[in-house]
Amino acid sequence: MYALLFIFVAACFVAGCKEENITQVVGPQDWQGPTVEWQSAMDAEVRGTVGLDVAVHDSSSILRVKLYVDGGENQTLTAPPYRFTVITDSLGDGVHLCEARAWDHYENLGISPVLRVNVANSIAQGPRVLWVPDSLATIQAAINAAQDFDTIRVSDGTYQEILNTFGKGIWLESEHGPQFCAINGSDSYNTLAIASGPRSCTVRGFHLTGAEIVVGLGDDCLADIFNNVMSSDTTKTGLIRSDYAGGLVHNNLFEGGQVGVDLGYTWGSSYNNIIRNCSRYGQWNAALYTNPLEYGYNLFWQNGSNYFNFEPGIGDVYGDPMLDLANGTLLPGSPALHAGNPEILNIDGSRSDIGPFGGPWAYTM
């Protein structure tokens, strides 16, 4: 009798445990893997370093995105933008198969279609002119397709892009100048990141805006920055920044941001720039040691302070530049007229004006 009662109670206890366990089972809220799509359209042939952009969509947060090349794991990214840098010199000529895989918060897996990349580093090819958007739809696509010594020429318009040069020695320019061609890298760290490479990269004739630091010069990079407008609101950190870089920064307008020109150890020169409306400093020397930068003949106007750790430069000017941005000119009586470095000339052979419409690389109306 007691044995039967014990068996009955034990059976009820087990049944109750099973029912309780079942009611407490909670599955993941997301059973679907991410959608992974390539944003990069490959040319028939690629050379050097190329960027591969991936778009990942999911109802949950993304933990990681991995690039596989020819079946082998190549790179891992854990935060957007999901842009892989592929050094094709290490792959060898021929077709290589690329695949991106993404995992969401619940470890669901999404896999991209296979992207075929035809590497042709050993095939000789002369310098080219790549037009945006006629030849390639976006500026970054043109950079991806470019090789050293190519020119990328951008037609008029506003381009919502975040750019990286991947260390290429290219000439990147707008067709008609900064009043007609804008690049907006809103909600990004850099609108334009210039990475280190063996040759100098030139950027000419854009209105660059939108990012926390509009132009970032990577460590040991070489960059020439001519006739651009860089602007930001005063809540953003700055307009151009380097820690250890070289090049020429001539005839630009830096407007807004907390710091206009923020330079660490920088070799080269900064001449003929207008720096105005920066809430903290117009020009900041961020080098730990003596900065070898040559600078001067810059115009400062309505900054919190014109210099930080920099002495005033030879020929510096202070006053309203009387700049007509819409028409690409200085108004009569501007203190920037023919006030630039006397060794730098305007297109007509006269002494350079200060600002984005002067110097040898200026655009003519």
DSSP structure string for 93-135: SEEEEEEEEEEETT--EEEPPPEEEEE-TTS-----EEEETTT
Task: Quick: pLDDT tens for 175-206.
Answer: 999 999 999 998 899 999 999 988 899 999 99
CA 132, CA 145: separation in Å to the nearest integer? Answer: 12
In this structure, whether the domain defined by 35-119 belongs to CATH 3.30.460.80 is answered with: no
CA-based diameter of the chain, in Å?
Answer: 117
Give the model's confidence band at 169: pLDDT under 50 very low, under 70 low, under 90 confident, else very high. Answer: very high
| CB hemisphere CA count around 142 (13 angstroms) | 26
C-beta separation of 193 from 216 below 8 A: yes
Task: Quick: pLDDT tens for 82-102.
Answer: 999 898 888 888 889 899 999
Would you list the domain boundaries of the chain? 35-119, 129-330
pTM of the model: 0.71
Four-way CATH pick for 129-330: 3.40.50.620, 2.160.20.10, 3.30.70.141, 1.20.1250.20: 2.160.20.10
Secondary structure (3-state) at 44:
coil
For residue 45, the tally of other CB atoms under 10 A from its CB is: 15
Beta-bridge partners for 56: 36
Secondary structure (3-state) at 271:
strand
C-beta separation of 114 from 97 below 8 A: yes
